[in-house]
Amino acid sequence: MNIHEYQAKELFKKYNVPTPRGHIAFTPDEAVKAAQELGGDIWVVKAQIHAGGRGLGGGVKLARSTAEVRELAAQILGMTLVTHQTGPEGKLVQKVYIEEGADIKKEYYLGMLLDRASEMPIMMASTEGGMAIEDVARDTPEKIIKVAIDPLTGFQGFHGRKLAFGLGLPVEEIGNFIKFASALYKVYMDHDAEMIEINPLIKTGDGKFLALDAKMGFDNNALYRQSQVNEMRDLSEEEPTEIEAGKYGLSYIKLDGDVGCMVNGAGLAMGTMDTINYEGGKPANFLDVGGGANAETVAKGFEIILKDPNVKAIFVNIFGGIVRCDRVANGILEATKLTKVDVPVIVRLDGTNAEQAADILKNAGIANIIAATDLADGARKAVAAAKGE
């Protein structure tokens, strides 16, 4: 789960990670009020969406008067912002963050994430502030300094010194940097974060460090104990069908092909997509119905898959282990009564009681249910059906 910049900065403030002052605004009037409260003579109006690249897309603008704050807020609120992370359809901006202007002397990058190789959180810093870290990693990896932090002992001075000297900071600024980095580590650990990105981290004229931007993502499995973070969840930033699927214990991700897939188990679900691709088709989605593929979950699965108008055939691929295939077959028949399915459904059931399942489907005599003998056969039939063959 991700949160907005302004929310991440709220968490930062509680942990004394310095950020510029700012207020959230949902209307141009609120934006002006926010600017007046902040005072000063320069403000930044920032679109709040869950995607990077907002500046380039026109979602971050500088205002030199409150009149300009109003004008820019009016312009950005309600716009559909397209960045390299939103996809071509973009994202609707529903709120702006009004922030005081900052005296930027130098921009850096500072981030944290789980390093799966060392199985520890790592902190990464770079002098290439403002650039996408993926590009820096690809083109000039030597400009990224990384430290793995053992969670058993926590953030130590040497971690901070390694980063600070790596960034080429003068000795008198190192203390400030270490204070910043050590507070950031606490924000990460205390909230079960899986990612923090500050891009840019800025150094001001008087040698202080400020998080000019803030991006945070969290471990979904830990949300049960992170009530504060949970309250920050903005469902309007998430895919509605994915949320709906989640309510029924299904894991769904929409793709752009035309062969719908319904599978038990995440690995087999990915493998099914790959098989469809291998057989010359394109998967319309990832869908893991989980361990208990019963009539209700299968019906819901059909419903969600068929919300996508591109779907021309559905491949149901279930490997019955503890779940018996005859039950799944009955579930499929039941599901076609609950949800109208008007595309060909190719069904491959293997594992426990597969033969009984095949008989159940055959005896039902439903024209658009086509039985498949194995994974490859099912994928081939589904691809052919989607092509109208």
Partner 1 sequence: MSILVNKDTKVIVQGFTGKEGTFHAEQCMAYGTKIVGGVTPGKGGQEHLGQPVFNTVEEAVRATGATVSMIFVPPAFVSDAVMEAADAGIELAVIITEGTPVKDMMYAKAYAVKKNMMIIGPNCPGIITADECKIGIMPGFIFKKGNIGLISKSGTLTYESANQVVKEGFGITTAVGIGGDPIIGLSYKQLLPMFEADPETHAIVMIGEIGGDLEIQAAAYIKEHITKPVVAFIAGQTAPAGKRMGHAGAIISGGSGTAAEKMAALEAAGVKVVVSPADIGKAISEVMGK
Q: Among 25-33, 95-103, 278-286, 305-313, which window interacts with partner 1 (CB under 8 A)?
A: 278-286
Letters for 189-228 (x = contact with partner 1 by CB under 8 A, - = none) are x--x-x------------------------xxxx-xx---
Residue 375 interacting with partner 1 (CB under 8 A): yes
Which of these, 91, 54, 95, 79, lies nearest to 239 by C-alpha position?
Answer: 91
Report, as residue numbers or ranges, the catalytic residues. 109, 197
SS (H, E, C) the chain: CEECHHHHHHHHHHCCCCCCCEEEECCHHHHHHHHHHHCCCCEEEEECCCCCCCCCCCCEEEECCHHHHHHHHHHHCCCEECCCCCCCCCEECCCEEEEECCCEEEEEEEEEEEECCCCEEEEEEECCCCCCHHHHHHHCHHHEEEEECCCCCCCCHHHHHHHHHHCCCCHHHHHHHHHHHHHHHHHHHHCCEEEEEEEEEEEECCCCEEECCCEEEECHHHHHHCHHHHHCCCHHHCCHHHHHHHHCCCEEEECCCCEEEEECCHHHHHHHHHHHHHCCCCECEEEECCCCCCHHHHHHHHHHHHCCCCCCEEEEEEEECCCCHHHHHHHHHHHHHHCCCCCCEEEEEEECCHHHHHHHHHHHCCCCEEECCCHHHHHHHHHHHHCCC
Q: Which is nearer to partner 1, 61 or 380 (CB)?
A: 380
Letters for 301-340 (x = contact with partner 1 by CB under 8 A, - = none) are ------------------xxxx------------------
Q: Among 5-13, 17-25, 132-140, 333-341, which window interacts with partner 1 (CB under 8 A)?
A: 132-140
- What contacts 60, CB < 8 A, 6 or more positions away? 44, 45, 46, 47, 54
- Supply the minimum distance, in Å, between the C-beta of residue 264 and partner 1: 6
Residue 353 interacting with partner 1 (CB under 8 A): no
Letters for 146-185 (x = contact with partner 1 by CB under 8 A, - = none) are ----xxx---------------------------------
Q: Which is nearer to partner 1, 20 or 52 (CB)?
A: 52
- What contacts 318, CB < 8 A, 6 or more positions away? 262, 263, 264, 289, 293, 325, 328, 348, 349, 350, 351
Within 36-95, which residues bind partner 1 (CB under 8 A)?
85
Select from 18, 166, 246, 351 the one that contacts partner 1 (CB under 8 A). 351
Q: Among 207-215, 251-259, 306-314, 356-364, which window interacts with partner 1 (CB under 8 A)?
A: 251-259
Residue 253 interacting with partner 1 (CB under 8 A): yes
- Supply the minimum distance, in Å, between the C-beta of residue 164 and partner 1: 24
Select from 138, 168, 206, 340 the one that contacts partner 1 (CB under 8 A). 138
Letters for 257-276 (x = contact with partner 1 by CB under 8 A, - = none) are ------xxxxxxxxx-xxxx
* Cβ atoms within 10 Å, residue 215: 19
Q: Which is nearer to partner 1, 180 or 319 (CB)?
A: 319
Binding residues for partner 1, total number by CB under 8 A:
56
- Supply the minimum distance, in Å, between the C-beta of residue 310 and partner 1: 15
Q: Which is nearer to partner 1, 41 or 374 (CB)?
A: 374
- Supply the minimum distance, in Å, between the C-beta of residue 383 and partner 1: 12
List residues near partner 1 by CB under 8 A: 85, 113-114, 116-117, 119-120, 133-134, 137-138, 150-152, 189, 192, 194, 219-222, 224-225, 251, 253, 255, 263-271, 273-279, 283, 286, 288, 319-322, 350-352, 374-376, 379
